[in-house]
Amino acid sequence: MKHISLVLLLVLALGNGHPAGDSVVKTVLSNGLTLIVKNETQSKVVAIEVFVRIGAEDEDKMTEGIGHILAASILGGSKSRSARQYARLFSEVGGSFQASWQWDYLEIYGLTLPELCNEAITLLADSIQQPAFRSDVVEYAKSAILSQMRTGENRAFDMACTDLRKALYPPGPYRRSLIGNPEVIKSIGHKDLEAFYKRCFKPNRIVISIVGKVNPEDVSRKVSRLFGNMDYSGGLQGRKQDPPPRSVYLEKTVGYVTYLMFGFPAADMNSPEYAPLCVANTLLGANKSSLLFRKIREELGIGYQVGSIYPALRGPSHIVAYVGIDANRTTPEMVGVVKNAVIEQVSALRDGRFTDEDLERAKRYLIGTHAIKHERVRDRAYYLGWYEVMGRGYQYDAKYADDVRSVTKEDVMEAAQRYLALPAVAAEN
């Protein structure tokens, strides 16, 4: 009950995800770089988020994993400062600055104090515009990534999802492993990173989001001075038209777990169908009051893991309904029961065999979790920049809850009927 009250209070307090009274200022420099600043006068820290609109679509078979190496080494020293100097300077301006590689973007982020914000921006500008990619830093990054890959081989669900994506998608960016190909990673060196960086790091691919106790005009002047001369020749090209995924069914045994997975094509996050599909996914399996959980866990008493996921992607996305069962107790009869149960619940979603209360509960869950995801200053900086770099525009951070609230039963049925087609093609294990 306390958790429900907390969610309700957050929804009432945050509403659309933004504390009241603080406006967002967006500036686009002449070279195309986008700056988003939100002054929160009560904040004790400043969050800085840098997004670069590069991702799996910028890699190919010869560079699969190079983005992950770049993310792991870009803060490892610039052409004017060593990795050790960087570590000391970042510590002086507030602590940990990190970078991560995702399907559709590279993220660099950190926290600092309001009085040290200018120094933090200066350091980030140096690392982003003058990365050294020194051999020792690159080799350390590669070693860490290869170790992460070996650890990942023990994560059953991740392995099953990787295999499902390979069955879902035709050759293209989302079909490959996000972390990369180990053999390719071993072969990548300094020159490869330099070439990839020069091709992809253009100002019109960059979004900087800063939230905290700051003066937007001062921040804009600082960013303009540091980034205004960044070369934009050969900048952002239009995204290639990715072929859509297909519907598939996969059985995958990893260690002690057998996963039964249904994969369906779904709209990208910039589609008008995004909010209806978010609600449809939540109804289907995204929480413990979902159709799948109630049927398979509560009624049938089967499954270690039961749920569904809908990744937010710039290109064609997918919905996965999954059930994980004990591999040692799996029988053909049990597999048949689970498959039929999943098909039944997907069909119920398509046909509208769910109650108005089910629908409202799913919408409240999405709105509540959206509010909770904005509790920290860094979260608020992240989502403003994320929506902008993904193509939806930072304003959608405030609009998302309203879009979810307006979804009707007919909207859910229409989206489910369009995308959740059965039967799915059986993929090889």
Per-residue pLDDT of 296-312, as tens digits, reads: 999 999 998 999 999 99
At 58, which amino acid appears?
A: D
What's the helix, strand, coil split of the chain in %, to 5? 50, 15, 35
Q: Does residue 315 contact residue 243 with C-beta atoms inside 8 Å?
A: no
Q: What are the structural domains of the chain?
A: 22-227 (3.30.830.10), 248-426 (3.30.830.10)
pLDDT of 425 reads: 63
- pLDDT-derived band at 231 (thresholds 50, 70, 90) equals confident
Closest by CA to 284, choosing from 264, 257, 300, is 264
pLDDT of 8 reads: 36
pLDDT of 19 reads: 45
Tally the C-alpha atoms within 13 A of residue 250's C-alpha that lie toward its C-beta. Answer: 27
Counting DSSP H helices and E strands in the chain, the numbers are: 16, 11
248 vs 164: CA distance, rounded Å: 8
Q: What is the pLDDT of residues 24-79, one digit of tens each?
A: 999 999 999 999 999 999 999 999 999 999 999 999 989 999 999 999 999 998 88
Closest by CA to 321, choosing from 333, 337, 335, 338, is 338
pLDDT of 423 reads: 66
Q: What is the pLDDT of residues 342-367, one digit of tens each?
A: 999 999 999 999 999 999 999 999 99
Mean of per-residue pLDDT scores for the chain: 90
Which are the contacts of 344, defined by CB distance < 8 A and separation ≥ 6? Answer: 295
Look at the block and give the residue holding tokens 């309700």.
8
H-only helix segments in 74-116: 83-92
Strands (E), 197-256: 206-212, 248-254
Note the Cα 143 to chain centre separation in Å.
24
Q: What is the pLDDT of residues 124-170, one digit of tens each?
A: 999 999 999 999 999 999 999 999 888 765 588 888 999 999 999 99
245 vs 253: CA distance, rounded Å: 23
Say whether the peptide bond before residue 423 is cis (omega within 30 degrees of 0). yes
H or E, element range at 39: strand 34-39
As a dihedral over the C-alpha atoms of residue 23, residue 401, residue 3, residue 39, rounded to 10 degrees, the angle is -10
Closest by CA to 197, choosing from 373, 73, 102, is 73
Stretch 219-238: mean pLDDT, rounded? 83
In the structure encoding, which two tokens stand for residue 91, read together?
Answer: 């510590």
Sign of torsion over alpha carbons 334, 340, 343, 349: negative
Stretch 73-87: mean pLDDT, rounded? 86
Has residue 381 got a pLDDT over 70?
A: yes
Q: Does residue 208 contact residue 35 with C-beta atoms inside 8 Å?
A: yes
Has residue 237 got a pLDDT over 80?
A: no
Residues forming beta bridges with residue 368, ordered by sequence position: none
pLDDT of 92 reads: 85
Burial 115-124 (b: 16+ CB within 10 A, else e): eebbbbbebb
At 344, which amino acid appears?
A: E
Stretch 273-285: mean pLDDT, rounded? 99
291 vs 299: CA distance, rounded Å: 11
State how far the alpha carbon of 232 is from the alpha carbons of 129, 132, 133, 198, 219, in Å. Answer: 12, 20, 21, 10, 21
Look at the block and give the residue holding tokens 């998302």.
400
Among residues of the chain, what percentage have pLDDT more than 70?
A: 90
pLDDT of 295 reads: 97
Q: Beta strands 97-101 and 106-112: pairing type?
A: antiparallel
Has residue 2 got a pLDDT over 80?
A: no
